[in-house]
């Protein structure tokens, strides 16, 4: 009998494989390093393994941990700050001034802690971030044991993080160097958008990305206005501009992509670009609808992200899955567009593939890290269960998540965060809210 670290029994194990399997009465065996040894019927486990930790979730579906492919984690502290506004008005008149006044390393640390608590509670075990002070994002993620791809932010203009493109790049590379061998933290270059980063910094990023073999994470074609301004100012659509800079390749993680024509979809597919789809943020800001049905048909890898709490206003990947599925059906006029199994794949293996982590996470199979979530399915709002995968997308919400593991380490146990002082995290968030509210009141009084 083999001695192992953890054996997790579940009513259903949903591995996210090519057969869309649902394995009833199965368990997952995990070794000391946090890797999955085997997925096997529960009836066979007792004769094969003796585990230090044996966990039974006999009314649950065990799924791969969800991958939130696009976040601005620290913006959790700006949740609901400036709602119901168009993107550029929201960004330029409210968010940028608030960030200029409030964002510092402590803001990012406390906001990231809040986001991590929210994400773990919702079964998200990996997130791809783009924000200032990425050193603090990496440090908080590593401390709390969640997996993260940390964006090396780039802008043309000064912020609290850096004064110019040279400083953004040098500071970002320092973060990359510090975490390049970390088991949970990876990095990506994160130029904000074509309209905020000029050609010369983008060319430098492309060169560095090629040399270091790390992805580039960027907002692209988020709104019609963005595309129109690109054409008006430069005579070319932003995506074509990136193509001319040699950036359309399998290392490009293109966020939003609501404004695409047929030739652009074909070019994206040909180049192997990954699309990070954020349906709820796009709907809330009236940015447009990403043509996921057409992208999927063309063979483009699609991942799901929530965007930041300032524009969503939550980090709930179950809500994002449901919205993605329903929006695709309405947009295409086809009820069979983007079925539940496909959306679950986008939220797990699709995200892992975009981040270059598909050999490590995104599905439940031997050899991969045990990044997992357990979803309870026995409540009045969940029974009967005819198809667990359908339930995960159309019925479940993050409140049904009971447990989460990253590399075999249980970070959420029966609804309790095991590695975070959640009370302290919430208290710090409230303090920030009071400070920002008071500051906004002072500003209103000054301008009135």
When pLDDT is averaged across residues 336-358 and rounded to a whole number, the result is 98
- pLDDT tens, residue by residue, 125-181: 999 999 999 999 999 999 999 999 999 999 999 999 999 999 999 999 999 999 999
Q: Residue 228 above 90 pLDDT?
A: yes
When pLDDT is averaged across residues 430-439 and rounded to a whole number, the result is 93
For the domain covering 66-354, report its CATH number.
3.20.20.140
In whole angstroms, how far apart are CA 156 and each of 84, 198, 240, 360? 28, 7, 20, 35
User: Range(s) for CATH 2.30.40.10 in the chain?
Assistant: 2-63+369-417
Reduce the DSSP state of residue 192 to 3 states and report it. coil
Radius of gyration for the chain, computed over Cα atoms and rounded to the nearest angstrom: 21
Whole-number average pLDDT of the chain: 96
Looking at the chain, the whole-number percentage of residues with pLDDT higher than 70 is: 98
Q: Of 232, 281, 284, 239, nearest to 260 (Cα)? A: 239
Round to whole Å and give the CA distance between 380 and 367: 36
- pLDDT tens, residue by residue, 82-110: 898 888 888 889 898 999 999 999 999 99
Name the one residue in this structure whose structure tokens are 């710090």.
Answer: 428
Please compute, for residue 176, the number of CA atoms within 13 A of its CA located in the half-sphere on the CB side.
20
Q: Residue 329 above 80 pLDDT?
A: yes
Round to whole Å and give the CA distance between 87 and 192: 14
Give the DSSP H/E element, type plus range, for residue 136: helix 134-144
- Sheet containing 409-413, strands listed edge to edge, beginning at the edge strand earlier in sequence: 36-41, 23-30, 2-13, 49-64, 372-376, 401-406, 409-413, 416-417
Q: Of 355, 247, 192, nearest to 239 (Cα)? A: 247
User: Range(s) for CATH 3.20.20.140 in the chain?
Assistant: 66-354
When pLDDT is averaged across residues 327-335 and rounded to a whole number, the result is 97
Q: Residue 447 above 50 pLDDT?
A: no
Round to whole Å and give the CA distance between 265 and 296: 10
Query: Do the beta carbons of residue 398 and residue 56 sit within 8 Å?
Result: no
* Whole-number pLDDT of residue 166: 98
Report the CATH fold assignment for 2-63+369-417: Urease, subunit C; domain 1 (2.30.40)
In whole angstroms, how far apart are CA 250 and each of 120, 213, 253, 272, 361? 29, 11, 8, 4, 18
The model's confidence at residue 441, banded by pLDDT at 50, 70 and 90, is low
When pLDDT is averaged across residues 237-252 and rounded to a whole number, the result is 98
* Whole-number pLDDT of residue 2: 95
């Amino acid at each position: 009998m083999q001695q192992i670290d953890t054996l997790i029994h579940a009513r259903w194990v949903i591995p996210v494989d090519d057969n869309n399997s649902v394995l009833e009465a199965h368990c997952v065996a995990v070794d000391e390093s946090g890797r999955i040894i085997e997925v096997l019927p529960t009836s066979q486990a007792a004769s094969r393994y003796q585990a230090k930790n044996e966990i039974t979730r006999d009314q649950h579906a065990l799924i791969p941990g969800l991958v939130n492919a696009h976040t601005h984690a620290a913006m959790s502290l700006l949740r609901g700050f400036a709602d119901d506004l168009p993107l550029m008005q929201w960004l330029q008149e409210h968010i940028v001034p608030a960030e200029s006044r409030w964002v510092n390393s402590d803001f990012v640390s406390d906001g990231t802690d809040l986001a991590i608590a929210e994400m773990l509670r919702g079964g998200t075990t990996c997130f791809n971030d783009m924000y200032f002070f990425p050193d603090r994002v990496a440090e908080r993620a590593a401390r709390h044991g969640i997996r993260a791809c940390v964006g090396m932010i780039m802008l043309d203009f000064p912020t609290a993080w850096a004064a110019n493109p040279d400083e953004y790049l040098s500071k970002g590379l320092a973060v990359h160097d510090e975490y390049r061998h970390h088991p949970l933290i990876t990095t990506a270059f994160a130029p904000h958008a074509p309209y905020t980063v000029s050609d010369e910094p983008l060319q430098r990023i492309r060169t560095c990305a090629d040399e270091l073999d790390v992805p580039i994470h960027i907002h692209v074609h988020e709104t019609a206005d963005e595309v129109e301004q690109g054409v008006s100012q430069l005579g070319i659509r932003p995506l074509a501009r990136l193509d001319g800079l040699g950036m359309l390749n399998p290392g490009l993680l293109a966020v939003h992509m609501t404004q695409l024509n047929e030739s652009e979809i074909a070019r994206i597919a040909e180049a192997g670009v990954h699309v990070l789809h954020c349906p709820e943020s796009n709907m809330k800001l009236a940015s447009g609808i990403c043509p996921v049905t057409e992208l999927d048909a063309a063979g483009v890898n699609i991942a799901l992200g929530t965007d930041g709490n300032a524009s969503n206003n939550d980090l709930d990947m179950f809500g994002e899955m449901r919205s993605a599925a329903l929006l695709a059906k309405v947009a295409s006029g086809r009820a069979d567009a983007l079925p539940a199994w496909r959306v679950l794949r986008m939220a797990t293996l699709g995200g892992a593939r975009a981040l270059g982590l598909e050999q490590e996470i995104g599905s439940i199979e031997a050899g991969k890290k045990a990044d997992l979530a357990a979803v309870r399915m026995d409540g009045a709002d969940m029974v009967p269960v005819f198809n667990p995968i359908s339930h995960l997308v159309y019925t479940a919400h993050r409140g049904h998540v009971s447990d989460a593991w990253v590399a075999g380490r249980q970070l959420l146990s029966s609804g309790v965060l095991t590695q975070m002082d959640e009370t302290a995290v919430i208290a710090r968030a409230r303090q920030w809210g009071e400070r920002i509210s008071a500051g906004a009141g002072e500003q209103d009084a000054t301008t009135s």
